[in-house]
Structure 1
Amino acid sequence: MTLTGWRRILNRVIYIPQRYVLGVLGLFALANSFTMRVCLSMTITQMVVQSQSSEHIIGETCPDPSLNSTTEVAESISNETMIIHRGRDRYDWDEATQGFLLSAFYYGYVLTHLPGGLLAEKFGGKWTLGLGLLLTSVATALTPLAVDYGGATGLFIIRVIEGFGEGPVTPAFVLLMARWVPPSERSRFGAMIFGGAQIGNIFGPYVSGLLLSDGGDWANVFYVFGGLGIIWFLFWVLLCYSTPNSHPFISDEEKEYLNKNVAASGLHKKLDPVPFKAILRSAPLWVLVMAAIGHDWGYFTMITDLPKYFSDVLKFNIKETGLMSALPYIAMYICSFIFAGLCDLCVRKKWHSIGTGRKIYTTVSSSVPAVFIILASYSGCNRAAAVGLFIASMAFMGGFYSSVKINAMDIAPNYAGTCSAFVNGIAAISGIITPYLVGLLTPDQTIGQWRVAFWTVFAVLVGTNIVYLVWGSGEQQWWDDVDKHGYPPGWKHGPLKKRQVDKEKKIVYPKHDHSPLSTD
């Protein structure tokens, strides 16, 4: 449809390619979602009663620079797990309980991944994503109320609800990119949009540290980030749409360009039902799941537990912890663009295939960070060395956005939402396991105990990387477009379901009575 009237005038006066508008608001969406996801990692250090240094094992903990400072006066309240420090509520939750609370978000996050992908494909990414983040924003703003009335139980429940809202975010964005972004631009858009997670990881801890310093009320952290998420939702609803062909302000030139270069732009016929029986038998997809598990195991350990390591082991104060926790993600964000530009350049120049590029940057974002994480664990109480090595580890993780994160669009552009949901939903189970496991492995918060936790990260990152190098793929799979690719030799599981009637155009599609390769 050609733009006319006021839409044409507005488009010519303020011409911005609408895929870039989507990209910028996508960046802010991921930034908001991650500030709300990770803010508890900082806040919980001020919500709980800190154990005294005398409880630790001598020689296995770092000296506390503030040991000789004035001691806080604590008043225990009978029959409660709460202690008052400078007028703020603190709770006597042990390390295992804290790990359980930090993992609560991922219980909801895992459960809504696949439904979120299906909803995005059925109703469009705009509303699936927007309403999901709105739910998370409201729940975040209500977190202090939930803790006041429900304690640890209330916090666990509200964090699960926050996870419910964020579950559809990644599959919806993968689907939106498959609809809006040409293959030659996907690494850069992937870095821009999903790099918003690092913006959230930068500002989440840093702003939290500022709000919590000098005795600040920990509830303010949740109010600020929840409010920002609600404001973002208003802009998203007004400016973004699920497909180029449904956008009222897109230029004719951009629409024509996208319809020509993006197979899933919305110009083509509606999709057949999701081929679950083929998806569940797809080796490249399961290998992608393994690679995603490896990355998430390392990444979630860092975003969830690194603030505790800085605070409890290296003995940074809360403001310093916020700054130190932000620095690795600044490096990761910058490097994600460097790696994305290199990957797109090499693919465009045909120096290597898409599949080879995905394997290169999966290795960059898995095995290389694993080495730096282990080196950091052996740096002991050398603060500068530890922080520098953690920064290096997260910098190389920036290659993830040019590899595993967007690989679902390569192997299944038509079902990118469902496949991304499947991959990320299973991989996100790491977010349930790792905080609780770290809590169990580090009951005394000693350097030796943390080293064991980091060795588990190393093993998972390197092991899953090897699996992906051997069996990973960057090619569209046959089941993503069976009319184009046909059935593979030896397929014995019957025909895939076909959509019978296009109700809008009254087109009847033929139904496969048998596998095209059947010899009957």
Structure 2
Amino acid sequence: MKSPTEILKNSISWIPARFILIFMGGFAVINAYTMRNVLSIAITEMTYRAAKNGTIFDDTCPSDDKQFTNERLGYKWSEEYQGVILGAFYWGYTLLHIPGAILSAKYGGKYTLSIGILSTAILTLLTPLTIQYGGAGWLIALRVLEGFGEGTTFPALNTLLSAWIPSKERAKAAAFVYGGAQIGNILTHSISGLLIDRFEGWSSPFYFFGTVGVTWFLLFEFLCYKDPESHPFITEKEKTYLKKELQQLSRDKAIKKTPWLKICTSVPMIALVIAQIGHSFGYFTVVTDLPKYMADVLKFKIKENGLYSTLPYIAMWIMSIFFGTISDWMLTKKWISFTTSRKIFTTLAFTVPGVFLVIASYSGCDRMKAVAMFTIAMGFMGAYYSGMKANNLDLSPNFAGAIMALTNGIGAIVGIINPYIIGLITPNRTISEWRNVFYISCGFLTFTNIIYLIWGSAEKQPWDTPEESSSVETGDKDLYRSKNETK
């Protein structure tokens, strides 16, 4: 009689193990984004809204719906306090980025990733009870813990991809895995709106996405492993192929020592971090607060809010592929340098969204025009992946993981302060107050883009080459020198 392991091996042996890892990695990112962003939708239905002559304030849009013309019962959290709640996730997320990279390097990416997602899923399931019986203070603490869980996600995924995916397959693998972010945003807004409308309660999305996260964990534990050698279901053919393709990568990894000081004092690196801060401010303005703008100002019902909030992310996902194709084509033709390419697409990702966010605020109560402006803004923000996002690998192929941990970690700090600043600026939730928010976002994007245009670079930095320290044996040094001379 065959064991469960043998049955499973025979069932999935026709699918390469690394393809399963890529799929589950993308699913992990989808889970991460649905669980971190579901509160942004739910909070529009959780909080108290006072009425004034059929509208909330004179500088907002009228609505015939009773949820806007009458007082709506809910938690009396001010806009500033809602900003603190929404930003609490990024306290934990920011703090765990670099420790997540260290843990993944030491123990492997499998458990660092899976335990982080599982903990976030459990906390997501507990969110409604925490709010009902613990209040806002306990919700803030829970969101910080969720950030701890997800802080390891991207460092762990980088570790897994480096252990499993050959260099010539990494571009497509990374695109599929990290593209899960926009899919997660799309699913969060669309499914949350439908569930809240269907079950007439804000708690249902937390139960749904938390359950999906736990299910992913169970599948991931059976199907994915930290490296090909430890995988019980992988075929000998694939294991031999990966061992050959990844052998030199292991040699490089053994002689690397991360030059943290040189990285942190590098002018192109500093320019990249500043650009990341600018991008994050504009991005979080839309991701965290667009549902609130649509609910409080444009008076979308929750089902409509979820539907129309997905359009900007669909546009960003599609346009990121389009801009990536154009960038690769121009570089292949050698029409422009890598530095010029990164700066062109970063500029598109910063200036056009900034302008269209401001234009959206001048759309008044024309809902479809406002949605169109937001969609155009986020569509052009998709050029970010072909611009400064790709710059991580340009500066240092050997230390791209460390650079990503720094840029993403520092950029995530914006996720803490952005909702709070917006809450301070929009206490009455009026169009004119939100217009100020969009002007500030436009200013941030423009200023940081100028810094990047002046000091940004796609040239590989001198500190990328691993130092031949005394810890490396002479034979390994000679092999390393020979390899580089051959190049």
Pairwise TM-score range, normalised by the shorter structure: 0.7 to 0.9
Counterpart position of 1:95: 79
Counterpart position of 1:29: 28
Counterpart position of 1:86: none
Counterpart position of 1:368: 352
Tell me the secondary structure at the aligned position of residue 465 of structure 1: helix
Say if 1:130 and 1:413 are closer, same or farther in 2 by CA, change over 3 A: farther
The code of the aligned residue for 2:376 comes to A
The alpha carbon displacement at 1:476 in A equals 3.3
Q: Is 1:140 matched up with 2:124?
A: yes
* Structure number having the greater helix percentage: 2
Q: Is 1:480 matched up with 2:472?
A: no
The code of the aligned residue for 1:14 comes to W
Say if 1:253 and 1:472 are closer, same or farther in 2 by CA, change over 3 A: farther
The alpha carbon displacement at 1:407 in A equals 2.9
**Distance (Å, rounded) in 2 between the aligned partners of 1:324 and 1:305:** 14
Q: What are structure 1's unaligned runs of at least 5 residues?
A: 1-5, 75-82, 84-89, 485-497, 511-520
The alpha carbon displacement at 1:69 in A equals 8.8
**Distance (Å, rounded) in 1 between the aligned partners of 2:247 and 2:327:** 21
Counterpart position of 1:500: 471
The code of the aligned residue for 2:190 comes to Y
The alpha carbon displacement at 1:247 in A equals 5.0
Counterpart position of 1:415: 399
- The answer (yes or no) to whether the contact 1:117–1:420 under 8 Å persists in 2 is no
Counterpart position of 2:39: 40
TM-score, normalised on structure 2? 0.87
**Distance (Å, rounded) in 2 between the aligned partners of 1:178 and 1:421:** 15
**Distance (Å, rounded) in 1 between the aligned partners of 2:242 and 2:442:** 41
The alpha carbon displacement at 1:374 in A equals 1.4
* Superposition pairs of residues 107-506 of structure 1, within 5 angstroms: 107-181=91-165, 186-213=170-197, 216-243=200-227, 265-483=249-467, 498=469, 500=471
TM-score, normalised on structure 1? 0.82
- The answer (yes or no) to whether the contact 1:178–1:414 under 8 Å persists in 2 is no
1:160-217 deviations in whole A, cap 9, x for unaligned? 1111111121233344445555666555444322221111111111111111115623
Q: Which moved more, 1:421-430 or 1:114-123?
A: 114-123
1:311-336 deviations in whole A, cap 9, x for unaligned? 00000011111111111111111222
Tell me the secondary structure at the aligned position of residue 341 of structure 1: helix
- The answer (yes or no) to whether the contact 2:425–2:437 under 8 Å persists in 1 is yes
**Distance (Å, rounded) in 2 between the aligned partners of 1:443 and 1:455:** 17
The alpha carbon displacement at 1:244 in A equals 5.3
Tell me the secondary structure at the aligned position of residue 94 of structure 2: helix
Tell me the secondary structure at the aligned position of residue 473 of structure 1: coil
Tell me the secondary structure at the aligned position of residue 51 of structure 1: coil
| Percent identity over paired residues | 46
**Distance (Å, rounded) in 2 between the aligned partners of 1:459 and 1:320:** 30
The code of the aligned residue for 2:28 comes to A
**Distance (Å, rounded) in 1 between the aligned partners of 2:351 and 2:406:** 24
The code of the aligned residue for 2:115 comes to L
1:102-142 deviations in whole A, cap 9, x for unaligned? 11111111111111122222222222222211111111111
The code of the aligned residue for 1:365 comes to A
- The answer (yes or no) to whether the contact 2:68–2:299 under 8 Å persists in 1 is no
Tell me the secondary structure at the aligned position of residue 48 of structure 2: coil
**Distance (Å, rounded) in 2 between the aligned partners of 1:207 and 1:445:** 25
**Distance (Å, rounded) in 1 between the aligned partners of 2:381 and 2:405:** 21
Say if 1:14 and 1:149 are closer, same or farther in 2 by CA, change over 3 A: same
The code of the aligned residue for 1:239 comes to L
Q: Compute the RMSD of aligned alpha carbons.
A: 3.2
Counterpart position of 1:14: 14
The code of the aligned residue for 2:454 comes to V
The alpha carbon displacement at 1:153 in A equals 0.3
